[in-house]
Structure 1
Amino acid sequence: MSRIENQFTVQFWGVRGSIPSPGSHTVRYGGNTPCVEMQVGGKRLIFDGGTGLHVLGQSLLPQMPIEGHIFFTHSHWDHMQGFPFFVPGFVKGNHFYIYGAIAPDGSTIEQRLNDQMLHPNFPVPLQIMQANLNFHDIKPGQAIHINDVTIETASLNHPGEAVGYRVNWHGGAAVYITDTEHFPDRLDENVLWLSRNADILIYDSTYTDEEYHSPSSPKIGWGHSTWQEAVKLAKAANVKTLVIYHHDPAHNDDFLDCVGEQAAKEFPGAIMAREGMRLQVPASVSLSESFPISKFSV
């Protein structure tokens, strides 16, 4: 087994929510919308296709041909707007397996990615992409097996629905939970289950409690959570590292510095998501192990 096949890493390519926020006020944390890459036992897993996916794609060009698995939480613009600009998807010889739940209106992830690339919204259709694209409809609660990697899924509390993911590999676990809104009187059982004893929990912390409950402009019902709720969850789930994620576009670097300081005081394992940040998940791997075949025949 090579060194890469013996690793579980998490890299952040887009950490901002709602809308891209480039500019001098977001330099330290980044302004691209959600995209997180995990390299797990030699497999490349990509979570969400915000504008950060374009940046990831540029980094992959010297490595082609590429094989990867792309998991969408849902199809709000900030989570899929980078897909039409994902250059490796246009290159013949690359292979991508794409996963997403069926939307409440019955549309598949393939249909929704196709629709955003139709006129008058985009100049070229999905069918012009020359990479081999294999689409998989998933049901929240379903486990996905890719060789020796297991991805668990659960429904999140978000308008239009969304899916959370937990990646398990040889005793290590990283969890990707965005977009979701906490419940006022209890922890979300689905979120708590996904987060259990995780090495890394990436959690939607768009707002502060003060913003969420603002008398003049409350964010209740908007589908997002707060960093204070993230801390509650991390403590209850026995998480090692909490990553504050999906930063509000109005939160500049100085504001996020303050959030990071407060969160770390409440939970020493809390850190702020930054574009380019790379984390290592500990895992116990035997170089002599053989791996089972994926049920998706990947």
Structure 2
Amino acid sequence: MKVTFYGVRGSIPTPGPDTARYGGNTPCVVLQSDSGQKLILDAGTGLRLASKEFENYNDTIHILLSHHHWDHLQGFPFFTPIFKKGVNITIYPGSTTLNHDTAILDQMSKSYFPVKFHQLPSTITLKKTNFSVDEGIEVGDFIIQAMDMNHPDGGSAYRIKCDNQILVYATDHELVAPESHHFRTVQQWAGFCANADLLIHDAQYLDHEMTQKFGWGHSSISETLNLAHNANVKMLSLFSHDPLRTDEEIDDLTAKILKTDPDFSFFFAKEGQSLILRE
């Protein structure tokens, strides 16, 4: 299974010289099976860059959304396949506490965007699918499980099996959250992520920042590292970088983590980065 990161930044796009190396686009990851089938995780501004992967793609395009906050939807109006007749796109909304499955299309309505979603020549289907923790549902070559993530307004984290590899995608997730959006315990998350070949997990804040940002729906880097250890994952991708975090600061954090000699490989996700998960 091939994994390509097109957007790794949390909350808001951050273009500029201080974020050029790790990237300033908001979340979007594309998975590709050995047979060539693809699955998009989230539709942040990175989705615009992912358009090139689908220029000659003839299968249905599947987009799996974690939730419906702006930074996970705002790339969709700039995803070039939506403007092509004959293209079929299926969108799976996240499991949010407020039922707003049409959010990704609503941004192309009223005075928000010049082209309205009903004017698009592509065929777009919103498919409410009850992904569960216990039983995987097949979407092409991908077998998908889901668990409610700890985040304001809710949302879904996904455990995806493909080509005998397991990837867990849990962005915008607060491991230790206030009661208002504390849906699952740290122990339950360790079980959900157990033995993953790659865990892509929110790591937006530092420990001292959590005192002011507790309840905002994101985890600290140290919490995420502890989760990866307790879940016995093989590789961790630290994801959803804080908008204020510079490339140099991320480099420094990498060096500090290396000194602790973690029992798994890790990296801070970088826009444009690809890797292949193998047995």
TM-score for the superposition, normalised by structure 2: 0.90
Residue 106 (str. 1) matches residue 99 (str. 2): yes
1:243 to 226, 237, 242: 237
User: 2:139 matched to which residue of 1?
Assistant: 146
Q: Secondary structure at the match of 2:128?
A: strand
1:15-51 CA distance string (max 9 Å, x none): 0000000001111100000000000242100000000
User: 1:137 matched to which residue of 2?
Assistant: 128
Q: Could you tell me whether the CA contact under 8 Å between 1:153 and 1:166 is conserved in 2?
A: yes
Instruction: Using the aligned pairs only, state the percent identity.
Output: 38
User: 2:215 matched to which residue of 1?
Assistant: 221
1:195 to 176, 193, 196: 193
CA deviation after TM superposition for structure 1 residue 64, in Å: 4.3
CA distance in 1: counterparts of 2:10 and 2:147, whole angstroms: 21
User: 1:209 matched to which residue of 2?
Assistant: 207
Q: Could you tell me whether the CA contact under 8 Å between 1:156 and 1:191 is conserved in 2?
A: no
Q: Secondary structure at the match of 2:148?
A: strand
CA distance in 2: counterparts of 1:13 and 1:229, whole angstroms: 24
Q: Could you tell me whether the CA contact under 8 Å between 1:101 and 1:138 is conserved in 2?
A: no
1:163 to 140, 156, 170: 156
The one-letter code matched in structure 1 to 2:255 is E
CA distance in 1: counterparts of 2:155 and 2:96, whole angstroms: 9
The one-letter code matched in structure 2 to 1:95 is N
CA distance in 1: counterparts of 2:252 and 2:153, whole angstroms: 32
CA deviation after TM superposition for structure 1 residue 192, in Å: 1.9
Q: Could you tell me whether the CA contact under 8 Å between 1:154 and 1:190 is conserved in 2?
A: no
1:141-184 CA distance string (max 9 Å, x none): 26321244211111000000010011112421111101110127
1:21 to 10, 14, 19: 14
Q: Which runs of 5+ in 2 are unaligned?
A: 179-183
User: 1:3 matched to which residue of 2?
Assistant: none
Residue 47 (str. 1) matches residue 45 (str. 2): no
1:203-233 CA distance string (max 9 Å, x none): 00000112112xxxx1100000011011101
Q: Secondary structure at the match of 1:113?
A: helix
2:278 to 258, 279, 282: 282
CA distance in 2: counterparts of 1:44 and 1:11, whole angstroms: 11
* RMSD (Å) for aligned C-alpha atoms: 1.9
What is the aligned residue count?
Answer: 269
TM-score for the superposition, normalised by structure 1: 0.85
Q: Which runs of 5+ in 1 are unaligned?
A: 1-7, 284-298
CA deviation after TM superposition for structure 1 residue 259, in Å: 1.6
How is 1:5-16 mapped onto 2 (pairs within 5 angstroms)?
Answer: 8-16=1-9
How is 1:70-81 mapped onto 2 (pairs within 5 angstroms)?
Answer: 70-81=63-74
